[in-house]
Chain A
Amino acid sequence: MATSEELLAELGQLAGVVGPVFAPSGSRELLLSLTETARRLFGAAACSIALLDEETDELVYTTAAGAGAEDVTGMRLPASQGVAGFVVQSGQAVAATDLGRDPRFARDVAESTGYLPQAILAVPVSSPRRMIGVLSLLDRDASRPGAERDMEMASVFAEQAALAIEGSAAFADLGRALLAQLAAAAAEGSTLAATASAAAEAAGPADADLAAVAALLAELGRSGPRERRLAVRVLQEFLTYSGGRSPRPAR
């Protein structure tokens, strides 16, 4: 029978392997459902979400629904070109019709996906922390009632996508931080310490603030249930307070 230390080690290893696979793109099913819902609601031929890869300065199409979805998924395009590139760079939503008249757009995107759109509506996917990417709708039905508010409505979808992606990323970061703490807490040289440390390292550097949060949580776990409940209430009060404040960061 496996000891609890061996089980923990396996868990650490699993988290190290599985975490990075799921974390960067957010909850895949949720994003896929979101693009499919948007596609239907706007009567569009296709809907996609592309995430900004800051290392390579490319837009990576991680989620797509509708025409050409299979070819679009995984596609990487420079963030310095096209309507989608302009949207992530400027932070401005843009819609264009008659795309066939922009020869560069038609060649770059349409030929690689096998679908030649006539119209695009693209909105930025962003959080206060960073520019995440772009949500694009191709050939939406602009004759439906209420279509004049499509840009505003698409921005609401983009915000949901941003929340899903950022939530998932924060969870993964916290997971990494916890793994690092676990490694530090375990006895030096033990299998658990080595495994957890390796998993944390493989998953990339943890955010320093999150590491501190993880350390506090680990310490809190050792206190009694009443203390834990009080701590949760204090945290909730703090989040309510900080959520209500307008951003006035010091320079």
Chain B
Amino acid sequence: MRVPGISAAPSREWALGGATGAGIRVALVDSGVDVTHPAVTGLVGPAVTFSWDMEAEAVDRVEGPHDDVFGHGTACAGIIRAVAPECEISSVRVLGSRLTGRGEVFAEGLRWAVESGAQVVNLSLSTGKPDFYGLFHEIADRAHHAGVVLVCAMNNVPAPTYPSEYASVISVAATDPSEDDVPLLCAARPPADFGAPGIDVSVAWAGGATMVMTGNSFAAPYVSGLVARLLSKHPGLRPYEVKSVLRAIATNAGA
């Protein structure tokens, strides 16, 4: 498979060989990260917390270290770290406060992540509210044009969810772990782009624990890690080229 701007069909060696993610920042929009967890420690970028201010009826932003409310962000950070050991991980906490204003908090966190200087943004969450369709579309398009790769977990729910269904993002569903050293699959049908390990995977959790978990939300950070590695070796790639390269190096490429 040929990729625009790339002279030969990309191989795994060309794409990832020797790449560690060094020099690439992944913004993790989630429940916060426990940076003291042994699976996470390493290069940790800026941390910021978004929540809903009930009195002002507006989104509140606080910069500075935070912990992980649920353990999920730590799990995702651990996965990214395992795939791209030398990338920088920046934590954007949007989960954990009240459910009121959730969509607005989520959107502002995502907007901040896209504009933060990170080359990759990992989103293991979504909304199904049609009210947010336009807002998230605008942010996803802005990321695409700025060359920021948005990696989103697909949702199992039968109704549409945003921004995981937009063509401008890389959407990921969970598959069984495989023997392949790059266990990435091209998805059979849209809107999912790829399948990555997310079934019964061992993940880091809050409080230094390790859990065995299943969900599309654990498959997305695997792909974010791969993208960080790819971009650390080929920094000029645009999001659509990244997608093409991932497709070319998938286990079932050409299938």
Contact = CB atoms under 8 A, between A and B. Distances in A.
Interface of A: 52, 54, 57, 79-83, 85-86, 88-98, 101-104, 121, 123-124, 126-131, 148, 151-152, 155-156, 158-159, 246-251
Interface string B55-78: 000000000000001111000000
Contacts of B131: 249
Contact of A247 (B69, B160, B213, B217): B160
Given A91-B125, A93-B155, A102-B71, 13 more contacts: A79-B99, A86-B72, A86-B95, A89-B95, A89-B99, A90-B31, A90-B124, A94-B213, A96-B212, A98-B211, A101-B205, A151-B215, A249-B130
A83 B70 CA distance: 8
A128 B156 contact: no
Contact of B158 (A92, A95, A98, A156): A156
A130 B130 CA distance: 10
B210 interface: yes
A158 B96 contact: no
- In this complex, the interface size class of chain B, counting residues with CB under 8 Å from chain A, is 35 or more
Contacts of A54: 99-100
B214 interface: yes
B133 A249 contact: yes
Contacts of B167: none
A92 B215 contact: yes
A102 B209 contact: yes
A247 B176 CA distance: 33
B142 interface: no
A101 B212 CA distance: 10
B95 A155 contact: no
User: Which residue, of B131, B155, B156, has the highest number of chain A Cβ atoms within 10 A?
Assistant: B156
B30 to A, nearest CB: 8
A93 B156 contact: yes
Interface in B115-163: 124-131, 133-135, 153, 155-161
A104 B215 CA distance: 20
10 contacts: A89-B31, A89-B95, A91-B126, A92-B153, A103-B209, A121-B214, A131-B102, A151-B214, A155-B157, A247-B130
A104 B217 contact: no
Nearest to A93: B156
A89 B127 CA distance: 10
Contacts of A249: 130-131, 133-134
A89 B124 contact: no
Contacts of B176: 148
